[in-house]
Structure 1
Amino acid sequence: MSGTAAEPEAEPAELRRRLDTLPDLTDRIFLGWARGSGILVLVVMGAVGGYLALRATDALSTAGWSFLTVENWNPDGGRGQFGIAAVLTGTVLIGGIAVVLAVPLALGSALYISEYAPRRIKRTLIGLVDLMAAVPSVVYGVWGFVLLQYQLTGLARWLATYLGWIPLFAVTGDVRVDDPITPPLVYTASSLMAGVVVAFMITPIMCSIMREVFDQAPAGEREGAYALGSTRWGMIRTVVLPFGRGGIIGGTMLGLGRALGETISVFLILSMHFEIQPHILQTGGSAVAPLIALRYGDSSEFAISALMAAGLSLFLLTLVVNFAAAAVVARSRSGATS
């Protein structure tokens, strides 16, 4: 008699349950819809980029590499008379100002709504934030042009007086920043004013994304942190913020992409100045989107081609920003589970 246990008898073939992995009709419809939507987005993006590249061919072939280094904008003057060095620098500068101001506001608001707000007002706060995101950009632009920039001239004067030794906050020219009778128009229509308005525009979008991710933090880990004696802030610091890193980065990059492409609000506030202007407190600046809005209506065929080339550069810049954000979010914990 063998010492091994007897193997169980195999079930008859007619009693075995058949595993069918073929999707049913509704699954196939949903899969086709999702796949078609993704392909359509890629096709639209490719079509936009291809159209811009096609229309920009004349200007790029004429300007060559000087298109990236020339600050002036006079396309009808020929090679060496137009380029995006100034407007692209101004675009990045305004976008950077907006993100630096918006991230603390968005992060604090998202944490308060997600972790601290009483349940009875949480839904109201969520609705208000979403409503702010739906306000048209022209409304923000008019508000910034009529009211905000004149209220911020005192802050700009203070920054120029006490932090003017930093090149970013310096005011050049025959201007005495410490003179109280210096006209406030020195500080209006600047990159700082445009960046502040854009910051208010992108804060609700960033806040909504961060809050959604914070709400998805595992309840078990939250309770475990409390069980180990953690305070609420300790739980947020050790559980919510590490889990929501992908949402923070993704929301920030999405806000940056919105800030880089903002047109009408920057157009209303900024005084266009076609040279690299690194002094954010001083009147004058430039950006790609307002340039296109300002010059498109009265441009020649070749000048429109140059504007399309500028638009192509902005399109590629936003693609790089969003792809970088997607790569970071995909590597994070919240991005992998959401």
Structure 2
Amino acid sequence: MRRSAFRRSRGDAPFRFVSIAAGVFLLALMAAIGVFLVVRAVPALQANTSHFLTELTWQPNSAKPVFGIGALAFGTVVSSLLALVIATPVAVGVALFISHYAPRRLASVLGYVVDLLAAVPSVVYGLWGVTFLVPFMLGPSSFLNEYFGWIPLFGGDQVVGRNMLTASLVLAIMILPIIAAISREVFLQAPKMQEEAALALGATRWEMIRMSVLPFGRPGVISAAMLGLGRAMGETIAVALIFPATFNITLRILSPNGNSIAANIANGFGEATPIGTGALIASGLVLFLITLLVNMGARFVIARRKEYARAAA
């Protein structure tokens, strides 16, 4: 007993040191990225002749640089939120079907397919969106504009295939496998005794899922959704191929409007002047902060859910 306890104590110290070092290194790396972005962005922000947060024009390469992040941040947040609203219910349904409805062999095959979809490069989704989805969405967009144009989202006098709705659909398809895969693993960890007890009391399968599986897996689904939202916000190639690359703020998602921070960086980095490069880095800093705030908000929601669960217990 003493020898085994001695061996455990000798192994715990190096493991604890490595774990602490890894955590400190991660924090230092994030801080270094933030410092780099700030240092490279300051000269461009000083040369800017307009307000960076509210200006809608993006002309950092001109003699008098004029650029702002307002339209880009708006397009990034709106397209990502639309993608999240579209993808999350479908992903949760897929995860529930794989974990609690599908036969074992079919569930195994579907699980592999979902994992493979999560590994498809974003440029493939972007090319599929440009060649197939953009022409296809012209019909549904015209239908929504004609019959639901009284809703601000679907209003507008001009309807095209390359719009924010199409870009959001591509983003939703991209993040759907991530949310579905994580949600599936969370649902599979639900306590089997609670599921069997609910069924034994006469609950239907859906009632069992609603009372036992969904409350248990809600924090995991929130984490999966926030992970998908982070990927949607940082997606570059797919949205760069679809967005019309305009710099205005509008809620009309069927009109030829829309752009994002990541897509603008991809489109403008190749021909940017030193000031233009600094402006793009400044926009990347804004995207870094938005993603950080989203993750912090998700952690806050999950922590509150855990507190409620403990209080109820």
TM (norm. structure 2) is: 0.92
Determine if the alignment matches structure 1 residue 97 to structure 2 residue 97.
Answer: no
Corresponding residue of 1:316 = 289
Say if 2:83 and 2:171, in contact at 8 Å, map to a contact too: yes
CA distance in 2, matches of 1:78, 1:331: 51
SS of alignment partner, residue 161 of structure 1: helix
* Partner residue, 1:147: 132
Contact 1:110 1:208 in 2 (8 A): yes
Where does residue 128 of structure 1 map in the other structure? 113
1:210-249 superposed matches below 5 A: 210-249=183-222
1:40 CA drift (Å): 2.0
Deviations 1:232-278 (A, max 9, x none): 10000001001111011111111111101100000011110011132
CA distance in 1, matches of 2:123, 2:309: 37
Do the aligned residues in 2 keep the contact of 1:288 with 1:310 (CA within 8 Å)?
Answer: yes
Question: Is the CA contact 1:169–1:280 (under 8 Å) kept in the aligned structure 2?
Answer: yes
Size of the aligned set, in residue pairs, is: 309
**Percent identity at matched positions?**
46
- Please tell me the residue identity of whatever aligns with 1:46: A
Q: Matches of 1:134 and 1:335 in 2, distance apart?
A: 35
For residue 177 of structure 2, what is the aligned residue in structure 1?
Answer: 204
Distance 2:49 2:15 in 1: 47
Hey, what's the Cα distance between the residues in 2 that align with 1:325 and 1:64? 36
Deviation (angstroms), 1:19: 12
Aligned to 2:261: 288
What are the ranges of 5 or more consecutive residues in structure 1 without an aligned counterpart? 1-16, 176-185
Residue 40 (str. 1) matches residue 25 (str. 2): yes
Does 1:72 find its partner at 2:57? yes
Aligned match of 2:141: 156
Q: What displacement does 1:334 show? A: 11
TM-score (norm. length: structure 1): 0.86
Q: Spell out, residue by residue over 1:271-324, the C-alpha distance to the aligned partner (whole angstroms, 9 max, x if none).
A: 100111321111231110011111111111111111111000000000000111
Comparing 21-30 with 194-203, greater Cα deviation is found at 21-30
Amino acid at match of 1:37: A
Letter matched to residue 116 of structure 1: Y
Choose 1 or 2 for highest CA Rg.
Answer: 1
Mean Cα deviation higher: 40-49 or 25-34: 25-34
Query: Residues of 1 paired with 2:6 and 2:210: CA distance?
Result: 43
Please tell me whether residue 86 in structure 1 is matched to residue 59 in structure 2. no
Change (3 A) 1:79 1:248: farther
Deviation at residue 98 of structure 1 after TM alignment: 0.7
Q: CA deviation at 1:336?
A: 8.7
> How far does residue 332 in structure 1 lie from its aligned partner after superposition?
2.9
Structure 1 range deviating more: 66-75 or 55-64: 55-64
Q: Deviations over 1:52-84 (max 9, x none)?
A: 111011123344881010000012447782101
Change (3 A) 1:161 1:272: same
How far apart, CA to CA, are the structure 2 residues paired with 1:80 and 1:159? Answer: 39
Other structure's SS at 2:303 match: helix
**Contact (CA 8 Å) 1:142, 1:268: kept in 2 or not?**
yes
Structure 2 residue 229 is matched with structure 1 residue 261: no
In structure 2, relative to structure 1, the CA distance for the partners of 1:302 and 1:308 (3 Å cut) is same
Gaps of 5+ in 2: none
1: CA distance between counterparts of 2:147 and 2:23? Answer: 52
Name the SS for the 1:332 alignment partner. Answer: helix
